[in-house]
Structure 1
């Protein structure tokens, strides 16, 4: 009897190990260079520890790119290369352990020099992932502009059999106009894995940097999301990252004013 139990356990673990997975991290890393010498190592360390297949960053500046490029722990990632040049257009930066088949800049309506990155990534069996990375305009009262930005990017992703839209959306679940503009075909990975947990990525109560950078009377909100449209990949895990201070000696200093969102999805067996 004991031998049979061991065999079943081994088979279950073998199947779990063979189960296709796809992991993704989105994180607004705060462009402000203040205390970058303390924040950048924490950002790099967190990415390395999670080791996601795909990393979508917003507000990336040269100081962070330099830390990423210098890190042996991130040497297996390919950075954002557009037309043969490594760049972070509009602060958007893609790191991928998977083969990036193409990447381009998508022009969107904006008052803050924002754009979208569109990448096609080989995820193994099945169609490639068409990934849209965004950092929508952030100013209060720009809800109609954010709706136009969403429309532009969603049109670009509409025909892809496997698509994801990720990044800093700059609106929360209680903001009706932008929420209604999201295509109903998306699966919100946070909601799928975490239900009604608020998932506040902009948290004035927990994050001193968010509190310091908030607009007047701005509430805590879930600004950052991972949306997926797929018949093959199912989100099974979603969690916030960067939720601890960079060190016990600096309790008010976090890696960023946003918390990142890490997602794990499983696909069908080969």
Structure 2
């Protein structure tokens, strides 16, 4: 399948940036998760594993759909993200169980539905760990995977790279490339997941663009994987990067950013 590895440590970056991540809920994470959940179709009384759940954008609506007779195990490595999800859920959904854990080492199996929204690119070994994720579904159970489409968030990595200090030594294109090379179209994602063991595959691109106002452009740096390029910079350095980055967006005439995702749903063989 070729190189399916990506930089695995971005959940650690998000652990230090939970508030910035949550600032993008309305603009980015909630619409993406709504699209994903509408296709994974959680059902009343089902047991669901929500992998790499972040601040609960997909786990909370899933818990509402399975109802009090169901169960949602929502797992994320970043404790601040889980705390945000817990605050959002309150006491109204006892069926939602939130866990600070590495889902690649998660042990329970037999779920009716396993879903992961924009999380598998963080796995240390994308192919092997996605295969293991699939195995958490019961025979006949559904697996729903959402990933970034080819070209998503372009040209922001390039423009951010040019705005960094000369001595930053950061390969932004490599560090922040959100899509998975072997699964960056609906067709290749479906084919890849079929090779990993799923059947009855269907996949589609959910096309979406965001109007790139300056405030949102900078939020996309601080609240997504782009943040890895600026973590560690001092306050004055960060302010300089912001100024140069926003100026580059204006000079290039970039008015929108593509945030298209790919959503694939398949079934584990009986």
TM-score relative to the length of structure 2: 0.40
Larger helix share, 1 or 2: 2
Larger strand share, 1 or 2: 1
